[in-house]
Each structure stands twice: as structure tokens, then as C-alpha cells.
Amino acid sequence: MNTFFNDLQNKISQAIENSPAKDIEKNVKSMMTQGFAKLDLVTREEFDIQTQVLAKTRAKLEALETRLADLEAKAAGGNKVDIAKGEVL
């Protein structure tokens, strides 16, 4: 009984391997791979790394803006400064 199922499995595997569907699948995969290569896509890992870099850069920028506002306030005699407008408040 076991050999019957093994033989059946082997015959089905051979039929699938030799079928046009297998060739079509290979061709479609190849075409998709080439198409994706032309699109200049990034991997999820690369995207996640760049997201982390952006978050760190944004945090540093906010810290520098706060520091600059404090320094400008000290330079203006203790008055607060609107960085965006460049005005003493």
C-alpha cells in the first residue's frame, strides 16, 4: 500500500515537472524578477534601516532647533526668539 502511494506521488511529481505549467511558472518568475530589477526597488530591510536613520535625524534636528532657540534667546537679552520668523518675541 505504501509503495502504491510512493509510486503515485512520483508519477504526479514527474507530470508536474514536465507540464507546460511548470515552464510558464519559471518564465513568469524570470520576467517578474527582471521587471522588479528595472524598478529600482529596495528591500524591506533597507527601508526599515532608512526609517530608523530618518527618525534619529529628525530627533537631532529638533534638539538643534531647541538649542538654537535658547542661544538666540540668550543673545537677544533673555527674550524668546521665533526661529521660523526670525523675530524677537
Query: Rounded to whole angstroms, how far apart are CA atoms 89 and 75?
Result: 13
> Stretch 79-89: mean pLDDT, rounded?
62
63 within 8 A of 53, measured Cβ to Cβ: no
Residue holding cell 514536465? 18
* In the predicted structure, residue 86 carries a pLDDT above the cut 70: no
pLDDT digits (tens, 9 = 90+) for 10-45: 777 777 776 777 777 778 788 888 877 788 888 899
* In the predicted structure, residue 87 carries a pLDDT above the cut 80: no
Domain boundaries, the chain: 1-40, 42-89
Three-class secondary structure of residue 33 per DSSP: helix
Query: 20-38 and 2-17 helices cross at what angle (nearest 10)?
Result: 50
